[in-house]
Amino acid sequence: MSKSRICFAFATLALVFISSAFAEDVLVLTEENFEKEVGQDRGALVEFYAPWCGHCKKLAPDYEKLGTSFKKAKSILIGKVDCDEHKSLCSKYGVSGYPTIQWFPKGSLEPKKYEGARTAEALAEYVNNEGGTSVKIATVPSNVVVLTSDNFDEIVLDETKDVLVEFYAPWCGHCKNLAPTYEKVATAFKLEEDVVIANLDADKHKDLGEKYGVSGFPTLKFFPKGNKAGEDYDGGRDLDDFVTFINEKCGTSRDVKGQLTPKAGIIATLDNLVKEFLSASNDEKKAVFARMEEEVEKLKGSTARYGKIYLKAAKSCTEKGADYAKNEVQRIERMLAKSISSAKADEFTLKKNILSTFA
């Protein structure tokens, strides 16, 4: 199958690849703020785009990278205008196709059209030349595990891991459109020891693509602990869809930002025993605690760690009194309100969730 036919076969998927790339480091320009931001005391590179435009979506990851790289350069603005929302503004600057990229020199609203390659590197070189800067494209660490023929079986067929794999080709525009979202999925689950978000260049490693029936790009397959033959991922392609899928399939409880939800760490069988434990007499508590220990011994992977938190909480409640759990939850909430690392936030949230069942 030719490259063009493969990409065409997936063209309908492009509509759901709404890139979040333009969000944080690329300034959203409107009719209200355009002249307040552009033509002032800094040079501005502006992309005039349309949300439905395939070429704009293809450019999105590179333009985001450009914005990230220049965000600390006070003499440069990287912006964008949605021409569906602001038709008169785009018409004013002669925009007739998408994307149109224009450079506005410092103190001027007379633009120069950019005619170069649509890559982060080429755009950065242009901005540096026009704006007198020397910014290099930022290298953003990836949380997506890169697979090759050498490590595929070791990572994907590991029976202790749930693995989502994207089979992609470097030349495929739809793969490039998916990349920012897929990276966010990997980032959301980076602290989950039993979950792996990975990708494979199936154009380079054709043998693996053929082995797993890949006939178009991107193809996503899920390899859960109990089925290393793999199963097709046929869900939606936005961040919410992926996060919901991983949570349901892997038993995780994270939101789109990677933060643990109130359900994280909760184990139904132990919750039922906690209810018995709380209503039991002091003598009966020992017997219930022993049953809790038996249940925890059955747990594997990350759930075994959660089970130990249940046991420690039960022991502390016995030793320190009925108010221990409530007071400890309040203390943890104060800790979570501070600036702490993601790993610490996970640790405290799990403890808080489990202690809340004792409160």
User: What tokens does 320 get?
Assistant: 């320190």
Q: What 3-state DSSP class applies to 162? A: strand
Establish whether 56 is a catalytic residue: yes
The catalytically annotated residue of 56, 90, 250, 317 is 56
Name the pairing type of β-strands 43-49 and 76-82: parallel
Strand-pair partners of 103: 45, 112
The catalytically annotated residue of 7, 83, 172, 250 is 172
Establish whether 175 is a catalytic residue: yes
Beta strands in the chain (DSSP E): 27-29, 43-49, 76-82, 100-104, 112-113, 145-147, 162-168, 195-201, 219-223, 231-232
Helices 54-70, 173-188: axis angle to 10 degrees equals 50
**21 close to 181: Cβ distance less than 8 angstroms:** no
The catalytically annotated residue of 7, 83, 90, 175 is 175
Establish whether 53 is a catalytic residue: yes
Backbone angles phi, psi at 80, to 5 degrees: -155, 150
Residue 30 has, within 13 A of its CA and on its CB side, a CA count of 4
Catalytic residue IDs: 53, 56, 172, 175
